[in-house]
Amino acid sequence: MSKQYKPNWLKEAIIYSLDVRSYKDGNGDGLGDLTGLMSKLEYLADLGINCLWIVPFYYSGNRDGGYDVTDYYQVDPKLGTINEFKTLVDKASAYNINILIDLVVNHTSIEHPWFKQAIKEHSPYHNYYIWMKEKPEKDRKDVVFKTKEDSNWEYSEEANSYYYHTFYKHQPDLNVSNPLVQKEILTIIHYWMKTGIAGFRIDAVPHMLKNKGNARFEDNSYEILEIWKQAMRQYRDDAVLIGEADVEPEDYPKFFGAGKKINGLFNFFLNNYLFLAMAEHCAKPLERAFQRLPFPSGSDQYLNFIRNHDELDLERLTDEERLRVFELFAPCEHMRIYNRGIRRRLPAMVNNHSARINLAMSFLLTLPGSPVIRYGEEIGMGDNLALPERETVRTTMQWDTSSNGGFSNADSQKLKWPIIDSGTYGYPSVNVSSQYGIPSSILEQVKTMVKTRKSHLAFNYGTFKLLETDHPQVMAYLYSLDKQRLLITHNLSYQVAEAQISIDTEAADKLIGEATIDLNTHLLKLTFPPYTYCWLSLF
């Protein structure tokens, strides 16, 4: 074993994100559930997944994909029971799959018992939330859904006061600066860590740590993250916190805290510039992004993704850059959302061009950090723009060509979750079964990438270096760990591209990809078909 690194399961993680409701119906009621998910663990293990991030499955108002929580300690009865969840954790462990769940504590549902008590006169729960007695001036600075909400404040007749909300008005923000709320959050952490999970994905981290209204943190709010990590590690020495922080990259170190706070951050910044690079068919946007991106050290890790369960949020781009991405990937207004994002899945953005889909997946599996695969990405699932807001990318998993795409054996009219049943991305055309064992399929291409990544530790622990090429549409970077050196190359062009890379090596073996290799006197020449990638091992 190399002395350059200490084993770290998050750095070696291939993370898979899903919603229990849309993945697999195990009891035939038309809604995905924990039983259905357990039946697909073997599939996930075969794909190479070793970490599963499950979005909220708690009891909720179900007005925002489970993120409007009404009970932090109860599994939604329609999805299963706490004992079934514990069984899921045990069965996943047998497949060497760690489980992460969402910690949604920036806000609750308006139906949460705390808020129902908070609106009562002289309630001890009143200060669990953030209030203003006098009508505040309209402030839209921190409104997340600017096309849906016109203020961060909403009036409650029962309380005769205005409460603060970052997201929808039915999601009042918790006053995380309140020590009593902090105590409640620790209780939630202890409860779920006892089930055997490996940690949490913290929702809306920057919003949670802000001063809002008259609520003020006495000390540095980021220190809370350290307290949470310490609480988790009473149960597992290797438990992790991963966080959603869509902020400028210069702010990332505050969340990491040099290994004391969050272990993994979703890299929204790099994600934005990956889409700009794909829209412009040029490597330069990504290369420029790396100039601003601070590299974490020690156990800290970035988490890379193509799409997540929300919109493709392009806030890190300039207005002009965002417009260029819109023009190519969301040319119609109804494809866009909240004045900042795209509500489509990748295949629909690239007109189902398989080479472009595979190219994006190659970036996902090789950019520095741990990859997060959103369910259905491994088969090229599409979206349904007829659904409202973010629901477009939350349709059911497509398993085979049988009724309901193998998601449920319920009568199709009794399905409780939307399914794509026709067209280019309908389950008769796009499903797991039809791609299984077909080498050219997206599924088998992704499985090959995952297997190759997992067999080369340089991806996880090696030093990363951008390399210069003589072609603006070809990107190259190098991972080095002991004697292992991996050269990763991508052609973003729609044309054949020839690129030269000056590199000190005597031999280059192709691991996966389509480029033609010509090595002469430490000058590597690669010839790529359009939209292709090539991973090489250097000697």
> Catalytic residue positions?
203, 244
Alpha helical stretches, state H, 244-313:
252-256, 268-280, 284-292
DSSP state of 215: B
| Cα 118 off chain centre by | 33
Q: Are 70 and 108 in contact (CB under 8 A)?
A: yes
3-state per-residue secondary structure call for 301-322: EEEEECCCCCCEECCCCCHHHH
**Distance, CA of 269 to CA of 274 (rounded, Å):** 9
DSSP state of 279: H
Q: CA angle at residue 184 from 180 to 189, to 5 degrees?
A: 145
Find out whether 482 and 4 touch, Cβ atoms under 8 Å.
yes
Alpha helices in 194-239 (DSSP H): 205-208, 223-232
431 residue type, one letter: N
Token digits of residue 270: 């790099």
Is the CA virtual torsion 41, 47, 51, 55 positive or negative? negative
Main-chain phi, psi angles of 134, to 5 degrees: -85, 150
Whole-angstrom Cα distance, residue 246 to residue 243? 9
Q: What are phi and psi of 305, to 5 degrees?
A: -150, 160
Rounded Cα distance between 380 and 400, Å, is: 14
Residues 6+ apart with CB under 8 A from 520: none
Strand order from edge to edge, sheet including 497-502: 497-502, 523-528, 516-520
DSSP string spanning 322-385? HHHHHHHH--SGGGEETTTEE-S-HHHHTTT-HHHHHHHHHHHHHSSSEEEEETTGGGT----T
Orientation angle between helical segments 284-292 and 268-280, nearest 10 degrees = 160
